[in-house]
Structure 1
Amino acid sequence: MRERGALAYTQLPMEDLDAFGLLKFDLLGLRNLTLLDRLQKDTFSKTGQHLSFNQLPKDDKKTMKMLASGQTAGVFQFESAGMQSVLRKLKPSQFEDIVAVNALYRPGPMDNIDTFIRGKRAPENITYLHDSLRQTLSLTYGVMVYQEQVMQVAVQVANYSLADADLLRRVISKKDKDLLLQEEERFLAGAVTSGYDQSVAKQLFEWILQFANYGFNRSHAVAYSLIAYRIAYFKAHFPGIFYAAYFSMISGDLERMKRAAAEMKRGELSILGPSVNNSDYTYAADERGVRFPLQSVAHVGGNIAKAIVSERKENGRFRNFIDFCRRMKPARMQRNQLISLIRSGALDEWEQHRAVLLASIDRAREYIDFEDDVGALFKSRDEDFRYAEREPYTQHEKLLQEKEATGFYLSGHPLDEYVHLFQVQKPKDIGEVSEEHHDQYVWIAGTLETMKPIRTKNGQSMAFLNLSDDTGRIEVVVFPNVYRDMKDELIEGELLVVYGRVEGNANRIKILAQLTQLADHAKAESTSSLYLKIPEHLNSTKTLSAIKRQLRNHSGFAGVKVYHESKRKLYELDASYHVHIKKELLERLTLIVGEENVVKK
């Protein structure tokens, strides 16, 4: 052991340290504690309410409702898609529920989560190995969750002291066969002395062994869950303040920010675009959500962001583009910084659109320099400045520039123009696809970011895609049988719709594509219809069943109408039977009803 300043430290393994009789402490640094501190301060600053952590209501209904909905982005220990799925099933109603699920959600004890949930939903159906365990396990619905429960059972059943019960816990975790045998003999003897039947005592010990292998320390679970609960409380009651603090904490982690932004959108909040008159240096709470900070605009940086905010606070809001350029001249704002601010939408509140402002940068600077040179001789007005003339950018061009400058689509999304198309098949947000959708077929839509074509061992071509929307990114696998027909639809940078089967777990989710199609092509196909006629001589029930089976296997956006000849009636099938019209589908339908009864319009 050596000493550096006042700090003693060692490189001994913990087992050797323990043998010397020294006590080992694990000190865990958490950014979430900093987040909590900011939430408390910002809440006081914005609302005047000083909320003491120790005085927060323990089982707050609004907080529990939010946790039960799985809207837990930014909540310590409860952020993962898997944990969100568990929370939606569990519907926690009290603090002890989240403590227990926090302890259970790890390899091993995960297998008992469903038992725990069933016990919560129907406590009258809980069974105990022995009725004397009811008091110890009732809080966790009959499931042994904590190491302390192992110790309690040993004390209660086999007359262990608490110190001996802790030694039992350690022996079980180390899996020393000789020591385990000794402890089993001692446990059985103590249980029989306490009046338990030998066979019941044996069952109890085996049960303890099973659960103690993964038992979690309750004090740890409570400490972690208390941090999580406090964060969740602020999020439920002050969402704008929470998201502003959370985004500031994870700034730069675009995937986590996208997931949180998607969650905000579902809660009817949004990330508001940067503004030289409204944005702060960091993310700031707003009535409608969170205002994007100036320092996070590409190329702007901290110094210029601070200079803008400082100038605005000292001398008032910027009146127009010329006023902004004039007042920011002493800060030596670079041309590329001004370009990024314009492209991000930070100067949108004035009458001139972005294309005009970008084209007017050099003209504006010359105008201001001229003012400085001859200002004593001529009195100029901002209205005297003549902007360059340019056609406005298209919405798509504006959005691409926004994304480049901020990492986000803030004033809209390229998929917005397909909103009517998506009312047909209702694609999921990519960020919502999780392991709970495993083996289900889903629609998604997004930008094809990257494509990696490869050849299989058999020499067939296939591809791996990365698709993203404003909620996240996902891998899409296009196997050879699909790739052959769809390869011309796979263009990097283009908007794509995908239909396929979800595969994966909490660590990795992917979609095995059955259909990939350019959004523009899907939009065009949605104006088409497939007409089918069931001839009088065919069994209508069997024929319709066969038709529907083929339609479901070729899901897409073209509507389907079926004319029943014997009933002389035309039926329009619902959106679940809309199809992607291709040669294979037409051939199979022809075999069912005949070529003359299959018409594409």
Structure 2
Amino acid sequence: MHAAGVIMSSEPLIDIIPIMKREQDGQIVTQFDYPACESLGLIKMDFLGLRNLTIIDDALNNIESNRGEKLVLEDLGLDDQGAYDLLARGDTLGVFQLDGGPMRSLLRMMKPDNFEDISAVIALYRPGPMGANSHTNYALRKNGLQEITPIHPELEEPLREVLGTTHGLIVYQEQVMSVAQKLAGFTLAQADLLRRAMGKKKKSELDKQFEGFSQGMKDNGYSMAAVKALWDILLPFSDYAFNKAHSAAYGVVSYWTAYLKAHYPAEYMAALLTSVGDSKDKMALYLNECRRMGIKVLPPDVNESIGFFAAAGADIRFGLGAVRNVGANVVEALRGARTEQGAFESFDDFLKKVPLPVANKRTVESLIKAGAFDSLGDTRRALLEVHEGMIDASVSDKRAAMNGQVGFDFDSLWDEPQHARKVPERPSGRSATSSRSSGRCWVSTCPTTRWPGSRSRWPSSPRRASPSCWRPKRRWTGRR
């Protein structure tokens, strides 16, 4: 089974291979594996969804709505200094393929300054090249900190053209094929068979390939010592190695995301936050990154927020959809009421304008705790005291209007209308905790920002990214 593999043919597949409908989801699949399909002349293509393409698209929409610029990434060159400065700093949290901690350390060592470096670092950060320490050697050689030594003295000049751009190191699968062509006289088809055999690690096939490879090199005047030195490097490298076409395609997406983060930080980080709305840990990680970058993340606001995170000038506005108990249907209904009837002027005005699906107690309480009504003048503490009664009254009025009931409630003459009292907000720590409980992370100010430097103890990893995940280790003092 291959989740992304699609078998294609110019003829009806049912006439060539056995197919069936998979019971659990109705997908049409074949009982033949990929090698069997390939032996019949069929083509298998892997079609993979990539979340980062959605992030890029959202970022471009944010740029257009926030700045009025219509950016076309395909029109950009691959030589922007701001993007390469960001990569050289290792400031790549949220950048496609380059955001892991060890990868960021490698980037700081390598200091990429051209697209070839981006392509190379993606290919090098794989088990095969890393097993030979090629990733570190590339970084050192690129910056003149390590001498470029040939694989074997006999091979220095013949391999100069093949390995010149990668500082004497084999980085891509295509280089394996070029080496076999140049030194052993292989055709492209023979070189591809060699590449496949190395990847599969079948001894019988490798022995057969080595025989042809060594004979070809000897026929071209190379010694057995040179043959063995080269083979000993090619064999472990080919395991998990990337082809350059794959690495370069990934590299373009990496470059684009680095460019967006460097030049449109609020718009890009807003798109990034939207993409991880279902992950509390990742959202906390990226919110902390926003704070580090000096981007202010504004709390949700019933008059300003949309469903997802959005850039607001140099800041980011928290999306209503990221608040607990606020679903997509609620956001759509709230925005519809705001568009049709105008901005909400007070909490009471909000309850009058929104439809019944929005005016439910769980949703409204979550919005209050998240600070979505702060701009209307009443404190969260005051609204939490009266919101249930005000919602009951509002819902009753709406249902009566829907049923066509017109009349006057004489009991209301003796009932005082409910309004939020003028009471001060809770201390910031308790208010922030309330904000945290209504969202998937700290919606407003993180409590620990009151103690400068305290966050420097936390590593940059999703599990340890936010104060809500950090717990001090208990220290034994000899007393209970």
**TM bracket (short chain):** 0.7 to 0.9
Question: Which residue does 2:81 correspond to in 1?
Answer: 61
Structure 1 residue ranges without an equivalent (≥5): 378-383, 435-466, 489-601
Structure 2 residue ranges without an equivalent (≥5): 1-16, 22-26, 411-416
User: Could you tell me which amino acid in structure 2 is paired with residue 171 of structure 1?
Assistant: A
User: Could you tell me which amino acid in structure 1 is paired with residue 51 of structure 2?
Assistant: R
Matches within 5 A, 1:113-262: 113-122=135-144, 125-129=147-151, 130-262=156-288
Question: Is residue 100 of structure 2 the alignment partner of residue 74 of structure 1?
Answer: no
Which structure has the greater CA radius of gyration? 1
| Secondary structure at the counterpart of residue 125 of structure 1 | coil
Distance 1:360 1:46 in 2: 36
User: Could you tell me which amino acid in structure 1 is paired with residue 460 of structure 2?
Assistant: E
Question: Which residue does 2:426 correspond to in 1?
Answer: 393
Higher RCO structure (Cα 8 Å, ≥6 apart):
2
User: Could you tell me which amino acid in structure 2 is paired with residue 87 of structure 1?
Assistant: L
Contact in 2 for aligned 1:73/1:259 (Cα 8 Å) = no
| Secondary structure at the counterpart of residue 375 of structure 2 | coil
Distance 1:366 1:255 in 2: 36
Contact in 2 for aligned 1:35/1:249 (Cα 8 Å) = yes
Residue among 113, 126, 134 paired with 1:93: 113
Contact in 2 for aligned 1:169/1:212 (Cα 8 Å) = yes
User: Could you tell me which amino acid in structure 2 is paired with residue 191 of structure 1?
Assistant: M
Matches within 5 A, 1:328-339: 328=354, 331=357, 333-339=359-365
1:416–1:184 distance in 2 versus 1, CA, 3 Å: closer
Distance 2:467 2:79 in 1: 31
Matches within 5 A, 1:441-520: 470=466, 473=469, 482-483=475-476, 485=478
Contact in 2 for aligned 1:431/1:471 (Cα 8 Å) = no
| Secondary structure at the counterpart of residue 376 of structure 2 | coil
Pairwise CA distance, 1:62: 1.2
Distance 2:287 2:329 in 1: 27
Residue among 318, 323, 328 paired with 1:292: 318
Contact in 1 for aligned 2:19/2:31 (Cα 8 Å) = no
Question: Is residue 425 of structure 2 the alignment partner of residue 403 of structure 1?
Answer: no
Q: For this pair of structures, how many residues does the alignment match? A: 440
Question: Which residue does 1:451 correspond to in 2?
Answer: none
User: Could you tell me which amino acid in structure 2 is paired with residue 343 of structure 1?
Assistant: K
Distance 1:99 1:287 in 2: 33
Matches within 5 A, 1:23-42: 23-42=43-62
Query: What do the CA deviations read for 1:278-298 (whole angstroms, capped 9, x no partner)?
Result: 111222111233211112222
Pairwise CA distance, 1:269: 0.5
Query: What do the CA deviations read for 1:220-251 (whole angstroms, capped 9, x no partner)?
Result: 21222222222222222222221222222221
More strand by share: 1
Contact in 1 for aligned 2:18/2:31 (Cα 8 Å) = no
Distance 1:297 1:398 in 2: 16
Give me the TM-score of the superposition, normalised by structure 2: 0.82
Distance 1:320 1:153 in 2: 73
Question: Is residue 338 of structure 2 the alignment partner of residue 306 of structure 1?
Answer: no
Query: What do the CA deviations read for 1:359-389 (whole angstroms, capped 9, x no partner)?
Result: 1325545776789877999xxxxxx975335
Pairwise CA distance, 1:12: 1.1
1:96–1:323 distance in 2 versus 1, CA, 3 Å: same
| Secondary structure at the counterpart of residue 476 of structure 2 | helix
Question: Which residue does 1:430 correspond to in 2?
Answer: 458
Distance 1:173 1:211 in 2: 9
Distance 2:348 2:28 in 1: 61
Query: What do the CA deviations read for 1:41-99 (whole angstroms, capped 9, x no partner)?
Result: 44344444333343221122111222222232332222222222222222211111121
Query: What do the CA deviations read for 1:392-432 (whole angstroms, capped 9, x no partner)?
Result: 3121211111000012223322223433xx5xxx5525242
Contact in 1 for aligned 2:300/2:372 (Cα 8 Å) = yes
